Structure formats: C-alpha cells, structure tokens
Structure 1
C-alpha cells in the first residue's frame, strides 16, 4: 500500500496532550498568531482524565480558527512516543512540527523553520532556541544555554548528550514515512532516540539560534520525571 502524498508546503503541527486543559488554550492562541498560515494542528489526547477535550472544543467554538484542528482521543494512555506516532500518521503535511501542549510558539516560528528547510534541502530536521518561563509569569524568561548548532550537534549526540529541544523541532514528513516514529522502549528518552535515528542514517539536522518557542516550567510537566532542566 502506497503512502498518501503529502501536501506541498503544508505543515502538520502535532501536539501530544495528556491532562493539559490548564495550558492548551495558550498553546492554541500561539498557533492562531502564526505568520505562516498553511498548517493544521493535530491534537492527540493520550487518554486525558481532565477537561482537555472540552477545553479545545470550547476554544474552537469561541475563536473559529483559520487552521483546521484534528482532535484524536485515544481510548487509553499510550505514552509520549505512542501519542506522537499517532499524530505523525495522521499528518498530511510535507513538514511535521512538534509542539508540547503546555508551551507557546513565537508567531514567526513556523514561517522561519519552513523557510530554513526550503533553503537547505540537505537538512532533514531543524529545532530552535527557546526561553523557559515559570507558569503564570511569561515575562520572566530565561534563554536556553545547552543547545548546539551545525556540526557540533552530531558531536554532542555521539557523546551521548542532548542538544535539541524536542518541542521545537520541525522535520520533513517523508523521513517519518521512511524511518517511523520515536521508540516506546526507552521511557523518558524518546526524543533523544528520535534525533539519533536521523543521525544514524546520515541525515543532517540543525538548530536556529533565534528564540522561537517558550517552554513553560510547572510542577506537573513530563520532563520533571526525568531531568531538571528546560529541555523537555
């Protein structure tokens, strides 16, 4: 069976969502301000037990967004990698962007990442710099200082370290069609393994130095289970 043809210059923004009703409206508000408007949002509700679904539907009714929203509620919790992979399979875009449900994108995020990938056909995936902020205090931003750029990225991953913020990535959909999604074998390091999968088949990746993403720090965020830094 052939893979369906992906929509040219169209972006699928995949948002794994688990009990994110407190934050998902801010996430969607950020997408509604994007300067590049040829995209869809795919929200994969990973068996939430809160009002995430009602919150999204209420937001859609109030805002009537210009972009389509696909809301997929999974019958049970599959975990981060499972929710991402479902979103990737549902994606129609030539490009796939990841977005955590509790974070916010800069209005020019999608435009600048898409422009970079268009201008650099040798690059398969690009992340961005970001700033972390404590929940409820968006104005108190701390720029990230652990990312790497260009050729340094491959060296950092070869050392077993991490230098790309997963919530910021955009990659070519055809790579997912060839390589598949993140593993479910390594709980807490799915994002690391996904990047390594690109590097292992000699695909090039990079980061944009501009802050194009805002990472919310709060007690219930997933990354706090695994490490204490704003790189979830």
Structure 2
C-alpha cells in the first residue's frame, strides 16, 4: 500500500466521450485556491477527441505528469471500473471526485480540506451544488439542489434506502478508502450509493456542507440519464 502524502488532495476525474466539457472541468481544478493537488484523469476508452483535448490542455497550461496523471483505458470499464482505477492511484491524504462534464467552485478543495481538518470525526464530506443547462456561460441559470441532508439525518436516509449526498461533490480521507476499497460493479446506476453505504457500514461519519461548491451540467448525453431518465438524480 502506497504511503499517503500529507495535505495532498488527489482528485479523480473519470471521462468517456466528454470532449466538449473538459476544458471547463480542468480549468476549475487547475485554478483551485488550494495549492497541493494532483489530478488523476481516467479516460474510459473514449472514441472522441477527449485524450487529445486533455493533452493539448496540459501543454497550453504548463501542466506535467506530476500534476495531472492521464490514464487511458484500452477497454471500457464503466463508471465504477474507471473511478476505482483512479482511486487506487491516488496518493493524497484526501481524495476528491469530479465528473468530467461538471466543474468545481475555485475554493472547493480549500474549504473541504479545512472542514475535514477541523472535524476529525468526519470521514467524508460533500457539499451543496447548483445545476445548469448546457448553455452559453452568460445565459446560464443555476438552480441549487434541495434533496441533500446534513448531519445525523444522512445516516437515517441511507438506513431507509434513500440517497442524500451528491457523488461529484465528495472528498474523503484516503486512509478510509484504504479500508473499504472501491465501487461495486454489480449495481449499474447505483454504484455511488453503495460506495457511500460502505462508509456508513464501518461506522464512518459523513456530512454535507451547505455551501454551493460544485456545478452540475444537464445535457443530453449525461450518465445519470441512462439510469434515471430526464431530470434524474445527479449523484
């Protein structure tokens, strides 16, 4: 097992054919106010120009392999397979998740790391987020989420089979991941739900921050639509 680097945030981005959204996604990570970040970008056998877009972005922004590790899967492993691949490559004390078609608030990691450092009893923290339709930047209207829960309510919701943490917003302690491992490949469309339950099953504490630190894009080819239909759960 690799030795985790203190203070580092390893953010895992999974991607399959999202070339149109990658620049905004990567820009939001590159310009974070928290300085100690590595990006692990796992491309799940894309057939579009995704890999070329990432390589060009790295060159244009002076980002080398120490800052962004580009992992190109030769076969499609699906969401859980590609995300788990990235999670096992993460070196940081903290691990975060971001979808390649979304983007993060520029102070997201700074605020989440601060929260975990000030709340040592919490193993995983998510945040509120705002959703938007894929339109021109100046025309976007952002809608805050209203289905998340906080504090002890989170455990109650999952105990009853519900879901109240947005997967794209989560940051968790690498040491806990070393105990529980990655996502299941048995439950298509509910992998993120099962991953959260793994934390709860070992008694780990979870919370959400009420501040909007993540921006979720609605578009015609998003992963959640394949399982939940129009207006599906953006977890």
Same fold, TM-score > 0.5, yes or no? yes
Task: Indicate the residue corresponding to 2:29 in structure 1.
Answer: 31
Q: Could you list the per-position Cα deviations for residues 190-228 of structure 1 after superposition, in whole angstroms to 9, with x for gaps in the alignment?
A: 000000010011100000000000000001000011223
Task: Indicate the residue corresponding to 2:164 in structure 1.
Answer: 163
1:41 aligns with 2:39: yes
Task: Indicate the residue corresponding to 2:112 in structure 1.
Answer: 113
> CA contact under 8 A between 1:27 and 1:104: conserved in structure 2?
yes
1:85 aligns with 2:84: yes
State the secondary structure of the residue aligned to 1:149: coil
Q: 1:137 to 1:145 in 2, by over 3 A?
A: farther
Large movers: runs of 4+ above 4 Å: none
Task: Indicate the residue corresponding to 2:154 in structure 1.
Answer: 153
1:65 deviation in Å? 3.7
Residues in 2 aligned to 1:127 and 1:103: alpha-carbon distance in whole angstroms: 15
1:101 aligns with 2:104: no
State the secondary structure of the residue aligned to 1:226: helix
> CA contact under 8 A between 1:144 and 1:230: conserved in structure 2?
no
Task: Indicate the residue corresponding to 1:177 in structure 2.
Answer: 178
State the secondary structure of the residue aligned to 2:69: strand
1:231 aligns with 2:234: yes
State the secondary structure of the residue aligned to 2:224: helix
1:98 deviation in Å? 0.2
Residues in 2 aligned to 1:153 and 1:126: alpha-carbon distance in whole angstroms: 11
Task: Indicate the residue corresponding to 1:132 in structure 2.
Answer: 131
> CA contact under 8 A between 1:13 and 1:41: conserved in structure 2?
yes
1:10 deviation in Å? 0.2
Q: CA RMSD in A?
A: 1.2
Aligned residues: 230
Please give the residue correspondences for 1:37-76 in structure 2 after superposition, counting only pairs within 5 Å.
37-65=35-63, 68-76=67-75
- Which of 57-66 and 143-152 deviates more? 57-66
Residues in 2 aligned to 1:21 and 1:37: alpha-carbon distance in whole angstroms: 26
1:176 deviation in Å? 1.3
Task: Indicate the residue corresponding to 1:220 in structure 2.
Answer: 221
Residues in 2 aligned to 1:72 and 1:30: alpha-carbon distance in whole angstroms: 20
Residues in 2 aligned to 1:178 and 1:165: alpha-carbon distance in whole angstroms: 22
Residues in 2 aligned to 1:200 and 1:178: alpha-carbon distance in whole angstroms: 12
Residues in 2 aligned to 1:136 and 1:230: alpha-carbon distance in whole angstroms: 20
> CA contact under 8 A between 1:113 and 1:126: conserved in structure 2?
yes
Structure 2 gaps of 5+ residues are none
